Amino acid sequence: MKIKNYFKSLPARIKGVPKKLSARLAGAKEILTQGNGKVCASMAVMGLGQLIYRQWVKGFMFLFIQLAFIAYFIFTGATDLFGFFTLGTRESNAWYGVEGDNSVVMLITGILAIFIIVFYAVVYVANVKDAYRLQCAEDTLKAPDGFKKEAAALLDKSFHKTALALPVIGVCVFSILPIVFMILIAFTNYGGDVVPPALVDWVGFKNFGKILSLGQFAPTFFKIFGWNMIWAVLATALNYFAGLGLALLLNKKCVKGKAIWRAFPILAYAIPGFITLLGFKFMFSYGGPINYYIQQGGGAAVGFLGLDAKWTARFIGLAVNAWISVPSTMLLATGILSNINTDLYEAARVDGASAWKQFVKITLPYVLFATTPVLISQFIGNFNNFGIFYFLRGGLYVDGYFLASDTDLLINWLYNMSIDNNYYSIGAAISLVIFIITSVISLAVYVLSPSYKQEETFR
């Protein structure tokens, strides 16, 4: 039903887009036609209009930003931007002592230059708008806000601008820039023999074609993708229901000393993941304790995580993953269960509903409703669960797979290819594919989930 409604409202929303756009354009048109000479002065030289209006501090700030930008653009910005498109033209030649262009660095600085230009454009528009606001204030004979008042607003009305400035810059440089870089790498031939000092070039969609058609990559991709989906579904379901079951068990009235029983899973939860994983690897290794007991019992040592241990390794991975993640689901479910209205159970008991029926009709729907967002993020987390098989079976390559083992998830394959074996561009293309799969799933569920739609209703 909900999906239907979402798609029903889609045409209306798309129709709304031009309206919104035209409203914005009308605003720009108004400034262009109604703006007086001082506004034009601000358009030509940032801050000039403000200076004419005797808004000294703000005017000089705008002016300074423009001068700084021009200096940046002349000294490095222009070449950076140019380098983004060419990715370097001068090949290095050690023989003649020529230091060539480093294409990859040029790509990064090029993206950075684009970011800075966009930022400058935003400030420029703000500058023109501000000048126009001053003009309007003058026309209505109202004294414009002084600098002090505007600065005070940064802690009040526009507190969000102050507070969000640092996080946004940080996220742009350390999260968005790397992601943009990675996306762009997928469209180059970076990797293999083509690493700096060799020059990298744009190749369009060739890498995606290679993944789907080339004998080297395609079979491995589809095999790993299939196992990856199975793994994500199994692991998420196992963790979710085991955690919920554990929480329900500890919630039972007859259980005494709940805090003590709960302490054991929390202990497991608190241990850093890499220690757990390395510990379990030791436990199942050839010389490890499990094999010791097998040998004591007269059997031969089993390579649980060895080369041809496809399914045992997979099951060990599932179990170890559950060991690590069930406690957190248990804690989450405990918190949610304590919020359920107990009257519901009272009423159910009066009506003679069995314990199982109470679980299916009251507990499960409530918990599922409350944890949909968490469930999505757990699914994504399991889909991209890098640590498990990196630690348990890292660095193993199995026949029939290209640079991967039969337990590796796409993310592990990605790591093997790009970090260990220099297939950067193919790796980037695969991560784009992973991204498309996961984001389509989660965005759809998120948009349809009640917690997004009813954001305002709980106020």
Compute the least distance from the CB of residue 358 to another protein, in Å: 15
By beta-carbon proximity to another protein, the closer residue of 144 and 288 is: 288
List, in sequence order, every residue forming a beta bridge with 188; answer none if it has no partner.
202
By beta-carbon proximity to another protein, the closer residue of 386 and 397 is: 386
By beta-carbon proximity to another protein, the closer residue of 216 and 442 is: 442
Compute the least distance from the CB of residue 245 to another protein, in Å: 9
CA–CA separation, 16 and 28 (whole Å): 19
Compute the least distance from the CB of residue 405 to another protein, in Å: 18
Tokens of 236: 């998420």
Helix (H, G, I), strand (E, B) or coil at 194: strand
Compute the least distance from the CB of residue 334 to another protein, in Å: 6
CA–CA separation, 170 and 177 (whole Å): 10
Compute the least distance from the CB of residue 261 to another protein, in Å: 5
Compute the least distance from the CB of residue 170 to another protein, in Å: 3
Contact present, 456 and 234 (Cβ < 8 Å): no
Helix (H, G, I), strand (E, B) or coil at 334: helix
By beta-carbon proximity to another protein, the closer residue of 66 and 207 is: 207
CA–CA separation, 385 and 379 (whole Å): 10
Of 265, 270, 269, which is closest to residue 250 (Cα–Cα)? Answer: 265
By beta-carbon proximity to another protein, the closer residue of 172 and 218 is: 172
By beta-carbon proximity to another protein, the closer residue of 41 and 430 is: 430
Helix (H, G, I), strand (E, B) or coil at 93: strand
Compute the least distance from the CB of residue 211 to another protein, in Å: 15
CA–CA separation, 427 and 403 (whole Å): 12
Q: How far is CA 192 from CA 188, 208, 420, in A?
A: 12, 16, 11
By beta-carbon proximity to another protein, the closer residue of 299 and 450 is: 450
By beta-carbon proximity to another protein, the closer residue of 9 and 175 is: 175
Contact present, 50 and 58 (Cβ < 8 Å): yes
Compute the least distance from the CB of residue 424 to another protein, in Å: 7
In whole angstroms, how large is the CA radius of gyration of the chain? 30
DSSP for 120-141, written as a single string: HHHHHHHHHHHHHHHHHHHHTT
Residues ≥6 apart with Cβ < 8 Å to 221: 211, 212, 430
| Residue 176 DSSP symbol | I
Of 405, 414, 404, which is closest to residue 383 (Cα–Cα)? Answer: 414
Of 363, 331, 366, 368, which is closest to residue 345 (Cα–Cα)? Answer: 363
Compute the least distance from the CB of residue 227 to another protein, in Å: 16
Contact present, 428 and 402 (Cβ < 8 Å): no
Compute the least distance from the CB of residue 399 to another protein, in Å: 26
Q: Which residues of 81-102 are buried (b: 16+ CB within 10 A; e: fewer)?
A: bebbeebbeeebeeeeeeebbb
By beta-carbon proximity to another protein, the closer residue of 41 and 246 is: 246
User: Phi and psi for 45 in degrees, rounded to 5?
Assistant: -125, 115
By beta-carbon proximity to another protein, the closer residue of 63 and 302 is: 302
